Amino acid sequence: MANDLADVDYEKFWRRLQQVGLNAYEARSYVVLVGHPRFKALELAARARVPRQKIYEVLDSLVEKGFAQVVQEKTKLFSAVEPGLAIPAYLERQKESLEQQLDEQRRHGNSLATDLRTAYAEGQGGRGTLDYLRIVNDPSQIAVHYRSMLSSVEREFIEFSRPPYAVDPLDEQLVKQAAARGVRSRILVESGALDDEHRGRLQDYKSVGVEVREVLSLPLKLALFDCNQGLVALLDPVITRPSWTAVVFDHAGLAEAMAGLFEERWRRAITH
């Protein structure tokens, strides 16, 4: 019965030592050390059921953690540090180590929070994933977008112009005002869409610095402002009542592609 009780206590103690922070080999070895003044390493390995090739690593770890000490006689012996000293001291060192880790994590976390706060503010105040594109099919809304961009253009305005018009660029005071501000303004028109009245206005545009050229046909309607934002309008495939659906965009890449298309058609056009 005494042996059975000893086995039960041994099992209980080494498992509880694992809860404190020792691994299984360390816990079994310490419980065995507690029961005898000193052990040789290989003697301890046999009693604690630790592989012989592992016992020196286990004992070095117990010494480092404060659970064992070396007794140097003719041969190297090991003994247990009194549990009332070993366990509280080990836990105190663990507490200090954890506090240092937390302090370091806190410093890194505060620095990271500061950096991410800037990115968060920019992200929350910025645009959503598709805010740079808007689909507009109401002519009055297309006109509002067109005039808004035209009134704020600073460097360059270019346009493919063909009917039906939401805003007729040859009858738009904002075009003249932009040219008067020093904005380079170029309009490419379909020659078949120019009646005598529109042709009469070309000289008026030329007098304020607006450049106008003619081509036989244009693939779409396009207005581009400062090579950054603009609108592209596509003709709906409804023969009986043609209308335009516009994509209003604020996207440098798309604007660059549209500018390239404009320049290619502009070079082939007839100059007024």
Q: How far is CA 220 from CA 159, 190, 199, 232, in A?
A: 10, 11, 21, 7
| Cα 118 off chain centre by | 13
> What is the average pLDDT score of the chain?
82
Q: What is the pLDDT of residues 85-143, one digit of tens each?
A: 989 998 999 898 888 998 888 888 888 877 777 776 766 655 555 567 888 878 788 88
Give pTM, 2 decimals.
0.51
56 burial (CB, 10 Å; 0-12 / 13-18 / 19+) is middle
Joined tokens for residue 130:
């598709």
* CB-CB neighbours of 108 under 10 Å: 10
Read off the tokens for 209.
């610095």
In whole angstroms, how large is the CA radius of gyration of the chain? 42
Strands of 137-176, DSSP E: 156-161
- Above pLDDT 90, what percent of the chain? 25
Write out the H or E segment, with its range, that includes residue 122.
helix 83-125
pLDDT(259) > 90:
yes
CB 180 within 8 A of CB 152: no
pLDDT of residue 190 exceeding 50, the answer is yes
